[in-house]
């Protein structure tokens, strides 16, 4: 609320130069809520795993860890491209910014495709939300995140349009930075999810 | 620290977030529908059970009792009354109402025919066969 | 009152309060039947009293929402209502349908009522809160659609504000989700699954949009805080409400035959449901603290702040108490549920409707605020009703904990009725708290008739 007050009441724009919150406060509230939901879900996973360690370990081995690793690379690359897109817009290079966003979307699409292959293989083996506690968490967490990637791509698409229209420039970066913050959140969640569900024994 | 907090962005996040979570909810409901045949005892849905459900509804039983824990809390849970009391007790109980015991909670007599009583019992038997993840904790409901 | 057509809100508010009185009388009858089982039997069996109690609640809240919309939308849209005449017709139709339905409950055996009203054509009756006969249900849909048409047309021809858009979304959602009340599959599990599409997605979904819009409107008016500030927080709060509340539906899918993963999904998301209510409380207090004017209607400010606090306690805290699956396994369908239901409905919906009535009624009667004396009386009614409701909730919670212990946790579980006999003391105390609530309600009624010096409307 303080941030809002300062933004609304600030008379001297000079103050805002140092320590500015990148992106809209509204998205940060949303991001915090999302991280809270994921956080509680992760805690529930850890708690249940502690009670079924052998089952979790056995079923974890059956997951496609390579696909998960590939997806980690794809998401990290996408995040890097988004950073480059923001930097390009800061330099007034709208066209370059749009290209970086397109590259990020390609990486996101790669993630979605890899994930779909992973899911179809899992479904063939009878993995479902009801087949075991581990499968419940594996599918719930990855699918919840998967939907975030898709939403993230929709947002990247909107930003791509904005960048092509030259909407973002220094001093008017709110839309771009807000979307970027959301995408980084999606990436961050995966960086916790992947080791937790796919790797840690 | 300062920053921007715009109404337009708050609005976009509201619409985006709402659509997102509603789609997620629909996806889960879709999966639920796929799993239900293994849990909801639908193979026991005979014409008697269906007729019994209608008697349950048109006598407004839910106005005093709970069924799988939902309803009013004035009278006992009936989702598991079939294993708790058995068919004959249930019918005899229905016919002997109201008890008229002074100061005690009273249940109306619904003047059900023998067929209607059998249908109601069939419905309660079907209900007790639903997989409720071991709820209630014990037979008392 | 800036627009003539806003006046049509007045009969809606009066009807709402009148039905509220009826609701509480039937609540007292049921409370009595909990301790003296054969009270008013066989004239008014418990199930009939309960049906009247809950249906009156729903109907009077709907009257309140509609009245609020008729009052707020012209002012928000800066234009007269699309059709005042339609609003008047709908008022009488809805009131007549509501009254006939209640009389039907009271004077016709329910099975006969079902037969008379075409339940054999489409069986929708006899499910909790959706007991209304088919013609009433259809009537609700028709009235809701005509009402929405009227309000939507008004918004379309005037200024579109965040408040009116959110209000409209909530009202449209209300009408749309009510359609699930016509779906009653033979399969009990699926019946219950979609029944919650009405009940949960109403009270923990679209109604929260209405609640937030009403509260935001009153806060703008009484605090004078910039509309921009209030509206963006409105969006943030309703985002949090729906993000947690939609998947939070899962907390009803623990033990009704639905798959077990709902125990996780439902627990996790409903555990976050207190967050939006907490945000709403902080928001209301913040706006009042940053007020730019001293509004003469102090009673309305009190109701607005009370809504925040009591909604947080009733819906947030009392909801959280029993929402986690391992806890709910023991508390499901006990007096704990009743405790939560009472405080949540009072804190969120009853209080927000009274807030808007408290703000709008003096203006509809041609003054900025009621006299000092009337306001003092109204504030007394606030404290009487609110504190009585806190005690009703506490006593029901105590009864519920004891019930759960005796009937479900104990190694030698008692039967339902044996456990009920053990908690009768708490039911007596609940009934007395109910009497105090009723006195508070009478005080509230009296506050409308207190005369005294009033200020004219400022502009």
pLDDT of residue A201: 82
In terms of domains, do B64 and B80 share one? yes
Across B12-33, average pLDDT? 98
In a domain, B139, yes or no: no
In a domain, B13, yes or no: yes
Domain end point (choices C154, C171, C195): C154
pLDDT of residue B128: 98
In terms of domains, do B61 and B118 share one? yes
User: pLDDT over 70 for what percent of chain C?
Assistant: 99
3-state secondary structure chain A: CHHHHHHHHCCCHHHHHCCEEEEEHHHHHHHHHHHHHHHHHHHHHHHHHHHCHHHHHHHHHCCCHHHHHHHHHHHHHHHHHHHHHHHHHHCCCHHHHHHHHHHHHHHHHHHHHHHHHHHHHHHHCCCCCCCCHHHHHHHHHHHHHHHHHHHHHHHHHHHHHHHHCCCCECCECHHHHHHHHHHHHHHHHHHHHHHHHHHCC
In terms of domains, do C313 and C450 share one? yes
pLDDT tens column, A136-168: 999 999 999 999 999 999 999 999 999 999 999
Q: What is chain C's alpha carbon radius of gyration, rounded to the nearest angstrom? A: 22
In terms of domains, do B75 and B30 share one? no
Please report, for chain A, the start and end positions of each structural domain, with discontinuous segments joined by +.
65-201
In terms of domains, do C136 and C264 share one? no
On the question of pLDDT at A17 being above 60, the answer is no
In a domain, B21, yes or no: yes
Give the count of domains, chain B: 2
In a domain, C6, yes or no: yes
CATH topology of domain A65-201: 1.20.120
Across A181-187, average pLDDT? 97
* Chain B from 30 to 59: CB within 8 A of any A CB: 31, 35, 38
Chain B nearest C-alpha distance from C338 (Å): 8
Mean pLDDT of chain C: 97
In a domain, C189, yes or no: no
pLDDT tens column, B44-102: 999 999 999 999 999 999 999 999 999 999 999 999 999 999 999 999 999 999 999 99
Query: Which of C10-43 are b and which e, b meaning 16 or more Cβ less than 10 Å from the residue's Cβ?
Result: bbbbbbbbebbebbbebbbbbbbbbbbbbbbbee
Q: Would you list which residues of chain A are within 8 Å, Cβ to Cβ, of chain C?
A: 1, 4, 8, 26, 29-30, 33-34, 36-37, 40-41, 44, 129-130, 136-137, 140
In terms of domains, do C134 and C237 share one? no
Domain end point (choices C98, C126, C154): C154
pLDDT tens column, A29-78: 999 999 999 999 999 999 999 999 999 999 999 999 999 999 999 999 99
On the question of pLDDT at C412 being above 60, the answer is yes
Across C411-429, average pLDDT? 97
In a domain, C169, yes or no: no
Nearest to A37 among C236, C261, C269 (CB): C269
On the question of pLDDT at A15 being above 70, the answer is no
Range of the structural domain that residue C86 is part of: 1-154
Nearest to C264 among A8, A30, A136 (CB): A136
pLDDT of residue A3: 44
pLDDT of residue C447: 97
pLDDT tens column, C356-391: 999 999 999 999 999 999 999 999 999 999 999 999
In a domain, B101, yes or no: yes
In a domain, C188, yes or no: no
- Strand pairing class (B2-4; B70-71): unpaired
Chain A nearest C-alpha distance from B3 (Å): 5
In a domain, C204, yes or no: no
In terms of domains, do B76 and B112 share one? yes
Across C48-68, average pLDDT? 98
pLDDT tens column, B115-130: 999 999 999 999 999 9
Mean pLDDT of chain A: 91
In a domain, C193, yes or no: no
Which chain C residue has its CA at the smallest distance from A135's CA?
A: C261
More confident site: C216 or C456:
C216
With a threshold of 0.90, does the pTM exceed it? yes
Range of the structural domain that residue B89 is part of: 41-128
pLDDT of residue C458: 56
Mutate to test the interface with B, among A11, A24, A172, A178 (most CBs of B within 10 A): A24
DSSP B7-57: HHHHHHHHHHHHHHHHHHHHHHHHHHHHHGGGTS-GGG--HHHHHHHHHHH
In terms of domains, do B18 and B53 share one? no
In terms of domains, do B57 and B116 share one? yes
pLDDT of residue A10: 41
pLDDT tens column, C79-113: 999 999 999 999 999 999 999 999 999 999 999 99
In terms of domains, do B64 and B113 share one? yes
Chain A nearest C-alpha distance from B81 (Å): 28
pLDDT of residue C454: 75
In terms of domains, do B72 and B85 share one? yes
On the question of pLDDT at A16 being above 70, the answer is no
Which chain C residue has its CA at the smallest distance from A43's CA?
A: C268
In terms of domains, do B20 and B54 share one? no
Q: What residues of chain A lie within 8 A of the CB of B2, using their CB?
A: 3, 6-7, 10, 15-16, 19-21
- CATH label of the domain that carries residue B51: 1.10.760.10
């Amino acid at each position: 609320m303080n941030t809002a007050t300062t933004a609304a009441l600030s008379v001297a724009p000079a103050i805002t130069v140092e320590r500015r919150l990148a992106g809209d406060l509204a998205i940060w509230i949303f991001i915090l809520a999302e991280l809270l939901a994921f956080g509680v879900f992760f805690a529930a996973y850890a708690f249940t795993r502690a009670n079924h360690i052998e089952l979790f370990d056995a079923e974890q081995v059956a997951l496609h860890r390579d696909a998960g690793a590939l997806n980690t690379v794809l998401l990290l690359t996408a995040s890097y491209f988004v950073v480059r897109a923001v930097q390009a817009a800061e330099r007034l290079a709208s066209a370059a910014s749009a290209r970086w966003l397109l590259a990020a979307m390609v990486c996101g699409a790669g993630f979605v495709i890899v994930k779909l292959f992973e899911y179809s293989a899992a479904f063939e083996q009878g993995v479902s939300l009801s087949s075991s506690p581990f499968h419940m968490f594996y599918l719930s967490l990855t699918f919840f995140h998967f939907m975030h990637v898709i939403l993230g791509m929709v947002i990247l698409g909107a930003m791509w349009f904005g960048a092509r229209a030259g909407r973002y420039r220094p001093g008017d970066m709110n839309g771009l930075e807000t979307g970027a913050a959301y995408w980084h959140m999606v990436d961050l969640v995966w960086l916790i999810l992947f080791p937790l569900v796919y790797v840690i024994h | 620290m300062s920053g921007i907090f715009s109404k337009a962005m708050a609005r976009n996040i509201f619409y985006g977030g709402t659509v997102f979570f509603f789609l997620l909810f629909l996806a889960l409901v879709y999966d639920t529908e796929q799993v239900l045949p293994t849990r909801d005892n639908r193979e026991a849905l005979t014409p008697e059970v269906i007729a019994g459900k209608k008697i349950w509804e048109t006598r407004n039983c839910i106005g005093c009792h709970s069924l799988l824990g939902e309803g009013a809390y004035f009278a006992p849970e009936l989702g598991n009354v079939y294993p708790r009391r058995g068919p004959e007790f249930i019918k005899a109980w229905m016919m002997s109402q109201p008890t008229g015991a002074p100061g005690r909670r009273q249940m109306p007599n619904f003047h059900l025919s023998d067929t209607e009583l059998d249908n109601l019992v069939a419905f309660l038997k079907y209900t007790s066969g639903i997989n409720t993840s071991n709820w209630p904790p014990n037979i008392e409901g | 009152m800036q627009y003539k057509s806003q006046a049509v809100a007045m009969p809606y508010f009066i009807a709402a309060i009148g039905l509220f009185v009826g609701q509480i009388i039937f609540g007292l009858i049921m409370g009595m039947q909990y301790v003296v089982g054969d009270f008013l039997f066989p004239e008014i069996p418990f199930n009939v009293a309960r049906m009247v109690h809950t249906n009156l609640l729903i109907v009077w809240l709907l009257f309140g929402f509609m009245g609020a919309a008729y009052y707020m939308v012209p002012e928000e849209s800066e234009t007269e209502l699309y059709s005042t005449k339609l609003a008047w017709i709908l008022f009488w139709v809805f009131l007549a349908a509501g009254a006939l339905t209640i009389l039907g409950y009271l004077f016709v055996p329910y099975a006969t009522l079902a037969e008379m009203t075409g339940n054999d054509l489409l069986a929708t009756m006899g499910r909790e809160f959706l007991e209304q006969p088919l013609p009433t249900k259809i009537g609700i849909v028709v009235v809701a659609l005509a009402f929405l048409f009227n309000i939507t047309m008004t918004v379309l021809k005037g200024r579109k504000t965040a408040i009116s858009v959110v209000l409209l979304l909530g009202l449209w959602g209300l009408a749309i989700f009510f359609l699930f009340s016509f779906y009653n599959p033979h399969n009990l599990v699926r019946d219950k699954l979609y029944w919650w599409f009405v009940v949960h997605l109403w009270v923990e979904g679209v109604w929260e949009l209405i609640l937030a819009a009403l509260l935001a409107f009153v806060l703008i008016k009484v605090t004078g805080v910039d509309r921009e500030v209030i509206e963006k927080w409105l969006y943030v709060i309703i985002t949090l409400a729906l993000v947690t509340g939609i998947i939070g539906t899962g907390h009803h899918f623990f033990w009704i035959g639905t798959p077990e993963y709902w125990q996780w999904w439902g627990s996790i998301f409903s555990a976050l449901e207190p967050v939006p209510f907490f945000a709403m409380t902080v928001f209301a207090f913040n706006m009042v603290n940053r007020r730019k004017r001293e509004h003469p209607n102090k009673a309305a400010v009190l109701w607005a702040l009370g809504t925040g606090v009591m909604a947080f306690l009733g819906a947030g805290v009392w909801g959280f108490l029993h929402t986690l699956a391992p806890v709910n396994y023991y508390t499901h369908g006990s007096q704990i549920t009743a405790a939560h239901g009472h405080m949540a409905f009072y804190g969120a919906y009853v209080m927000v409707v009274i807030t808007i009535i408290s703000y709008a009624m003096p203006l509809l009667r041609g003054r900025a605020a009621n006299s000092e004396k009337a306001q003092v009386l109204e504030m007394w009614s606030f404290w009487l009703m609110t504190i009585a409701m806190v005690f009703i909730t506490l006593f029901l919670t105590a009864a519920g904990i004891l019930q759960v212990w005796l009937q479900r946790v104990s190694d030698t579980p008692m039967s339902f009725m044996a456990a009920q006999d053990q908690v009768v003391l708490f039911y007596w105390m609940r009934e007395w708290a109910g009497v105090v609530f009723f006195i508070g309600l009478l005080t509230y009624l009296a506050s409308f008739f207190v005369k005294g010096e009033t200020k004219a409307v400022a502009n």
